[in-house]
Chain A
Amino acid sequence: MIPGESFEALFEPRGIIVAGASTHPGKFGFVSLHNILAAGYEGEVFATNLDGTPVLGVQSERRIEDLPAGRADLVFVCTPKAAVPEVLRSCAAKGVRAAFLTSAGYGEAGPEGARDEAELAALADELGMLVVGPNGQGVVSTPVKLCAQIVAPYPPTGSIAVASQSGNFVSSFMNYAIQSGVGISRAVSAGNAAAVTVRDFLGYFAEDDATSTSLVYLEGAHDGRRFYERAKAAAAGKPVVVVKGGVSTGGARAAASHTGSLASDDRVFDGMCRQAGVTRASTVEEAFEAAATFATQPLPAGNRVVVMTTAGGWGVVTADAIAATSLELLVLPDDLLAAIDEKLPPRWSRNNPVDLAGGETRDTVPEVLELIAGHEQVDAVVFLGLGIQSNQARLMRAGPFFPEHGLERIVAYHERQDDRFAREAARISDETGKPILTATELAIADPENAGPKAVRETGRLCYPSSNRAVVALDHLWRYRRYRLRRGL
């Protein structure tokens, strides 16, 4: 196992060198330096290039040797492959302990490249340097505002750590982070993973105080047993979410035994995840939403869910979604039923889903939510219907009658109410220690709606549909159940 301080050099460097900085704004050597500076990296930034031209105001040196010693922990390498060994040796001599390599032409380029890649791994070993890549996209670390990568974006700060065998997925997860407001601690693409693999990052994230949840994209686990051991150890501490590509290939095989033909690659992988306590998601958005839920909601103590909705149909489909999971729709206990009766006109659903049936007055939503979440038999709540009032407000604001006819006042009231409902949901969740998931398509249809906007401001995810909220909640419960059954 690679020692943690090497990863600190990668994720929390005191200074960074961009080797191969370019003045051409289309080149990786320019873009990466731009991104480091633009994100506001807190450490010192150095650069080298062939002619010593300054780039973006950073004085470049021709040689690593001309840079001061002991000031940079990380080198971000954008040079052609041929220059890499020399860059790494010189950097090691200057006290650099970690390198990220964007350089291509290694294992992905054929047998000769594969030999070079093996030599690169040996050199990393010899220098005692953490060498990430080659052919990687970059590394992001929000605690130090580091955005050393050859592509966008730079995500909001949060506690999800991403490691991926594909750089594109790092970008995708960070784009979801921007959209949802649920942020990232570290993010790294392993590139060809010559010396450092996704498994190694998982080991670091498990120990990393800035990280609450690991999120991993995998295509293959070449050393499956070691991946399993590491993932299991990591998941014993904090949630690990995995999405895997390539599940449909290599599934069928000829085998002499029934067991052999039924134990397809994907079923083995799936069983491995369950055994390790790893949350496996089937799609990219499901993976992000599971991670975002782990990062922002308490784990449920049990599987009994109450759905609270301001409109009937949503409640029905959410109940269907719950039936397809390991969650359970709680039969409302008599005392809770009686308590809700006090708050609502008689036409409310009087069962779960709790359909308020338009019987709300100013304080009904937070009051009923508090009654539900506060009940000892309730483990989690799904709240539907947020933002309806503000959606009407939006139409009023845009229409020809605004602000006359009392519209200004009612629009402000609607928006204030949705804002308040979202904040109350978060407060009640914090106070009860129970997950409360808010779902509305307005999270996507109108992100500026006061409801979803306030959910984001509380740091939580506003789920784009109730079934997606249910799937995420099911992942939380299954992880909790795994822990409970094993005394973790």
Chain B
Amino acid sequence: MSRTLSEAASSELLGARGIPVNSHRLVDDAEAALSAAGELGYPVVAKLCGEAIAHKTERGLVRVDLRTPADVRVAASELLASARPDDGAVHLLVAPFVSGHRELLAGLHRDGQFGMTVMLGVGGILAEAIADVSVRLVPISRVDADEMVEELATQSLLGPFRGEPAVDRGELAELLVRLSDASLADPGIRGADLNPIVITAGRPLAVDALVEVDT
């Protein structure tokens, strides 16, 4: 059996393993959300966060690019009001809004034949349709990780892109090595999604995380 950790817990677990994840504050009401936004600096993103909530975007539980306290107040009230009884305990997650034109995704998946694997792919809403991904078996070396980056078919996405600098390939490869290392260090991890990883100022930053653990 397995269960998924909340976004906040997932992101803390992976962040502690050196994986670049976005910072956040976890709060319970609109007032606290406002002060969190003030601390983090605008614009921010607000999401409804809970262990039973996996597909936030599909349910409209993500509000991005909130530029003013008024934006945050409205978003916080609406998100809290959309919680369903079966969502269990929920919080508001407030995080800096990270902008970038390019989205990648990475993750861990336990394969039936080959055991734990680590994956890198082109992200965004077309991710599964494009399916430009590379996979390796855990553990990977840095050379393996470099080759995963090199293997993506959409290499033009990794160069300078629409006024943004080229992706730091070394940081991307290092993220993959750390993901692989995290699963070695914590065998209870059954799977993980870092989706999306936004490329901001050329560097990868996971702005959503989902970890599935054995129970």
Question: Which residues in A have some Cβ–Cβ distance to B below 8 Å?
Answer: 220-225, 228, 255-263, 265, 267-272, 274-275, 485-486
Contact between chains at A258 and B128 (CB < 8 Å): yes
In this assembly, does B53 line the interface, its C-beta being within 8 Å of a C-beta of chain A? no
In this assembly, does B13 line the interface, its C-beta being within 8 Å of a C-beta of chain A? no
Contact between chains at A275 and B115 (CB < 8 Å): no
Contact between chains at B114 and A259 (CB < 8 Å): no
Closest-CB distance, A230 to chain B (whole angstroms): 13
Contact between chains at A267 and B107 (CB < 8 Å): no
Contact between chains at A262 and B121 (CB < 8 Å): yes
In this assembly, does B111 line the interface, its C-beta being within 8 Å of a C-beta of chain A? yes
A16 vs B191: C-alpha distance in the bound complex, in angstroms?
Answer: 52
23 interchain pairs (CB within 8 A)? A220-B113, A255-B109, A256-B4, A256-B212, A257-B107, A257-B191, A258-B105, A258-B127, A259-B105, A259-B119, A259-B192, A259-B195, A260-B109, A263-B107, A263-B117, A263-B133, A267-B133, A268-B114, A269-B114, A271-B135, A272-B114, A274-B134, A486-B143
Contact between chains at A259 and B134 (CB < 8 Å): no
Contact between chains at B143 and A259 (CB < 8 Å): no
Closest-CB distance, B197 to chain A (whole angstroms): 12
From A225, A255, A257, A262, give the contact of B114 (CB < 8 A): A225
Given A224-B111, A224-B115, A271-B135, A259 contacting B128 (CB threshold 8 A) = no
Closest-CB distance, B172 to chain A (whole angstroms): 16
Contact between chains at A263 and B113 (CB < 8 Å): no
Contact between chains at B193 and A259 (CB < 8 Å): yes
From B111, B143, B144, B191, give the contact of A268 (CB < 8 A): B111
Contact between chains at A263 and B137 (CB < 8 Å): no
Q: Which residues of A contact B12 (CB under 8 A)?
A: none
From B4, B135, B144, give the contact of A267 (CB < 8 A): B135
Q: Which residue of A lies closest to B116 (CB)?
A: A225
A54 vs B195: C-alpha distance in the bound complex, in angstroms?
Answer: 72
Closest-CB distance, A249 to chain B (whole angstroms): 13
A252 vs B199: C-alpha distance in the bound complex, in angstroms?
Answer: 28
Q: Which residue of A lies closest to B144 (CB)?
A: A275
Closest-CB distance, B204 to chain A (whole angstroms): 16
Contact between chains at B135 and A257 (CB < 8 Å): no
Contact between chains at A262 and B133 (CB < 8 Å): yes
Contact between chains at A275 and B4 (CB < 8 Å): no
Q: Which residue of A lies closest to B133 (CB)?
A: A262
Number of interface residues of B (CB under 8 A): 35
Q: Which residue of B lies closest to A229 (CB)?
A: B137
Q: Which residues of B contact A221 (CB under 8 A)?
A: 113-114
Q: Which residues of A contact B136 (CB under 8 A)?
A: 271-272, 274-275
Q: Which residues of B contact A258 (CB under 8 A)?
A: 105, 107, 121, 127-128, 193, 195
A224 vs B210: C-alpha distance in the bound complex, in angstroms?
Answer: 26
Contact between chains at B117 and A271 (CB < 8 Å): yes
Contact between chains at A262 and B127 (CB < 8 Å): yes
Q: Which residues of B contact A268 (CB under 8 A)?
A: 111, 113-114, 117, 135, 137
Q: Which residues of B contact A222 (CB under 8 A)?
A: 113
The 9 A-B pairs at the shortest CB distance, nearest first, are namely: A259-B107, A224-B113, A271-B135, A224-B114, A263-B109, A259-B109, A257-B193, A271-B136, A267-B135
Given A224-B115, A265-B113, A274-B147, A259 contacting B137 (CB threshold 8 A) = no
A169 vs B117: C-alpha distance in the bound complex, in angstroms?
Answer: 30
Contact between chains at A263 and B119 (CB < 8 Å): yes
A260 vs B4: C-alpha distance in the bound complex, in angstroms?
Answer: 14
Q: Which residues of B contact A269 (CB under 8 A)?
A: 114
Q: Which of A223, A225, A255: most chain B CB closer than 10 A?
A: A225
Residues 116 to 153 of chain B near chain A (Cβ within 8 Å): 117, 119, 121, 127-128, 131, 133-137, 140-141, 143-144, 147-148, 151
Q: Which residues of B contact A259 (CB under 8 A)?
A: 105-109, 119, 191-193, 195
Contact between chains at A263 and B135 (CB < 8 Å): yes
A189 vs B103: C-alpha distance in the bound complex, in angstroms?
Answer: 46
A221 vs B137: C-alpha distance in the bound complex, in angstroms?
Answer: 14
Q: Which residues of A contact B4 (CB under 8 A)?
A: 256
Closest-CB distance, B181 to chain A (whole angstroms): 16
In this assembly, does B54 line the interface, its C-beta being within 8 Å of a C-beta of chain A? yes
Q: Which residues of A contact B128 (CB under 8 A)?
A: 258, 261-262
Q: Which residues of A contact B127 (CB under 8 A)?
A: 258, 262
A476 vs B84: C-alpha distance in the bound complex, in angstroms?
Answer: 58
Q: Which residues of B contact A260 (CB under 8 A)?
A: 107, 109, 191
Contact between chains at A257 and B212 (CB < 8 Å): yes
